[in-house]
Structure 1
């Protein structure tokens, strides 16, 4: 059976308070305020709980997750893995972590990058409140 790629795109905004200093995780939040050094986008249009069922199913099967963070012509790619332990029930945020830690916002574990590892030209743009950030989540089904 041929595998197919499933993609889901969300949008968020930049913020002057984004620092991208956390080396261990990345957070995208629906809230308007930055609450952690791992936040890379605010006012997102989706949370972990609101992801499509097909994406949630693939993540709970432990599939490889590719996350593309794009703004103003610059992008960076993060890879992580789903886990059978994912809850995917947080209504405020999405988290990708280098560790195996799982909470309701976690959608990917064992990531190859945290917020501090993102390309510096990208993180500079993430600090601009006028920037729209496009985040694409992709899995092979």
Structure 2
């Protein structure tokens, strides 16, 4: 298990139908409708090497849980042999099979639009602290 801290932002919309993202960037425009948190502790490149190896196993299951304001929301996907996990700023989980340096998991059972609206409202507060918990099963 690995946890990454992040914070909310007034422009968190969480409406994207196929991805969820957190970023190390501090600013967020309204077009970034998959982003649920900014100011993250790390991007994909900051993950432990042992976890990266497990994520590159196509048979691995990956659970990503967003924790914020006493609430939690989890999505489950799988690893992929082609994961680079090299992006310094972003972490993206995807419902599709698309792989790029920002991709953490593919084939996920939910996206940004599945995050409960009560949690999204909490994440719209810049003082809200959140955590992305990553578990490779």
Q: Give the aligned partner of residue 33 of structure 2.
A: 37
Q: Which residue among 5, 15, 20 is the counterpart of 1:21?
A: 15
Q: Which residue among 105, 108, 123 is the counterpart of 1:126?
A: 123
CA drift at 1:28:
0.5
Give the alignment's Cα RMSD to 1 decimal.
0.8
Correspondence 1:85 to 2:82 = yes
Residue 120 of structure 2: SS of its match in structure 1? Answer: helix
CA drift at 1:72:
1.2
Q: Which residue among 54, 58, 66 is the counterpart of 1:58?
A: 54
- Structure 1 unpaired stretches of 5+: 1-6
TM-score (normalizing by structure 1): 0.92
Residue 128 of structure 1: SS of its match in structure 2? Answer: coil
- Structure 2 unpaired stretches of 5+: none
CA drift at 1:33:
1.4
Residues in 2 aligned to 1:91 and 1:19: alpha-carbon distance in whole angstroms:
23
Equivalent pairs, count = 134
CA drift at 1:113:
0.8
CA drift at 1:124:
1.2
Q: Which runs of 4+ in 1 moved over 2 A?
A: none
| Structural mapping, 1:100-139, within 5 Å | 100-139=97-136
CA drift at 1:34:
1.7
